[in-house]
Chains A and B, each alone.
Chain A
Amino acid sequence: AQTVTQSQPEMSVQEAETVTLSCTYDTSESDYYLFWYKQPPSRQMILVIRQEAYKQQNATENRFSVNFQKAAKSFSLKISDSQLGDAAMYFCAYRSTGANSKLTFGKGITLSVRP
């Protein structure tokens, strides 16, 4: 079974600075998907960014980018120019490529942003 590990329960960043959230996973599959989800306080969980394992290029979405290291099974999220609205819980998630496969989540990391 696949596992997703987020070893840091909390992180803090100064507004306008850059922060990196780490995630590692364990799998024997060669093709899969990885996601970062954001859950703001008392608000709905939303997708931040996704990465298909067959793509070598790291995904980017505006201020959010990933560092996908397939051999190391590492999938970190970098947030540039941090904003107060980035304060949230962030979850890393893994999914196999099967049509009905499920998401496996890490335990999450709480990010606070200092003004």
Chain B
Amino acid sequence: DVKVTQSSRYLVKRTGEKVFLECVQDMDHENMFWYRQDPGLGLRLIYFSYDVKMKEKGDIPEGYSVSREKKERFSLILESASTNQTSMYLCASSRRTSGRTAYEQYFGPGTRLTVT
């Protein structure tokens, strides 16, 4: 089974702190994603990566950066945490699309981040 793990289930940080959220997948997937989930807004894509050291901005990249130094690991960085970044953060991974097969994304358990 595919496994996507995230470094913390719950995290409490103070405003202005630098925050690292880590995600690891064990299925050699090329693509990895970071989302934030807020009530009434669904999932919104922050950043994604389709290869090591490659990254693409999603819909809401402001205030975030990412790092992918190894294929299995994708980190989300909040350079200076703010209260409006309090949210649930979900990591996902998938195989790169090939042919006409709709490969699914596999999700981690999520990190609930509270910034006070």
Contacts and interface: CB of A to CB of B under 8 A. Distances in A.
7 contacts: A6-B42, A44-B4, A50-B104, A95-B102, A97-B97, A100-B56, A108-B43
Interface in B39-88: 40-45, 48, 50, 56, 58
Given A52-B100, A107-B40, A107-B41, A100 B105 contact: no
A47 interface: yes
Nearest to B94: A103
A33 interface: yes
Count chain A CB atoms within 10 A of each CB in B4, B33, B102 and give the residue with the most.
Answer: B102
A30 interface: no
Interface of A: 6, 9, 31, 33, 35, 37, 43-47, 50-52, 54, 91, 95, 97-103, 105-108
Contacts of A9: 40
A33 B100 CA distance: 9
B107 interface: yes
Contacts of B107: 37, 44-46
Contacts of A107: 40-42
A52 B100 CA distance: 8
Contacts of A54: 100
B90 interface: yes
Contact of A91 (B33, B43, B92, B102): B43
B96 interface: yes
Contacts of A108: 42-43
Given A44-B108, A99-B97, A105 B43 contact: yes
A100 B100 contact: no
Contacts of A97: 97, 100
Contact of B102 (A50, A105, A106): A50
Contacts of B108: 44
A25 B7 CA distance: 34
A76 to B, nearest CB: 17
